Amino acid sequence: MLRKTGLLLFALIALLLASCDKVMQNLGGMKMDSPEVLEKAKELAKSQFDASKWKIVSVDWDEESGQGELEGNVTSIRFYMIDQDGKAWQQTFIASLGWKAGDLDETPFAKGDKLDNPKDYPALDLEKLSGEQYTKMIEDAKAMLPKSYKYKSLDMFSINTYDKEPISFTLNVVEDGKETVSNAGRTSIVFYEVRFTADENGKLTMKE
């Protein structure tokens, strides 16, 4: 259920704060747990993919890693699509580059536990998930955490059309009173990753 991870804190606090400010500026302040990221995904889906040529079947977005981890800033949104010939592709849009599109890459698709042939995957309709539902799902997941753990950020969120539990996301949490460890003059934040899934009816499950 809880996967332990460490994040190094740099001693030069001024440099760290300046770097965080730069990250926030580059990413436009868009947070992983804000409905803004869902609206951005909807906008990109409509503006970047011709529905007559591409069938979007999955989309996910991620928090920045490394120094910006636990800040909750969106770093990218990635789409998986099926073309008219049944081939699978992926394309990522980068927040710090003004949502510039990355390369369009052909990719193998893992079999879903509901459907296993990409040609049979239905198109993903992001409009069925509202910003209010998105926010509530995350808040409900926070409420399911053990009492001794505190939410820090949303690490990733994904939704697809081929799994029985089409929604999956991960919360980063810390344990009260045990947030940091020090060794050899360096201090690290100790946090854990807790994964949740939601079925087609929105029922949440915290995974072991």
pLDDT digits (tens, 9 = 90+) for 147-197: 999 999 999 999 999 999 999 999 999 988 777 777 766 777 788 999 999
Q: Could you write out the DSSP letters of every residue in 106-160?
A: E---PPPSS---GGGPPPP-GGGS-HHHHHHHHHHHHHTS-TTEEEEEEEEEEEE
CA distance 118 to 120: 5
- Asked if residue 2 lies in contact with residue 194, where contact means CB atoms within 8 angstroms, the answer is yes
What's residue 81's pLDDT?
A: 95
Question: Taking 70 as the threshold, does the pLDDT of residue 203 lie above it?
Answer: yes
CA distance 92 to 205: 28
The DSSP secondary-structure symbol of 97 reads G
CA distance 176 to 159: 31
Q: Tell me the pLDDT band of 11, cut-offs 50, 70 and 90.
A: very low
**CB 21: neighbour CB atoms within 10 A?**
10
**CB 14: neighbour CB atoms within 10 A?**
7
For residue 57, give the nearest of 136, 135, 114 by alpha carbon. 114
Read off the pLDDT of each residue in 69-84 and give the average, rounded to a whole number: 94
**pTM (global) more than 0.75:** yes
Question: Taking 70 as the threshold, does the pLDDT of residue 36 lie above it?
Answer: yes
What's residue 18's pLDDT?
A: 44
- Asked if residue 208 lies in contact with residue 196, where contact means CB atoms within 8 angstroms, the answer is no
Question: Taking 70 as the threshold, does the pLDDT of residue 67 lie above it?
Answer: yes
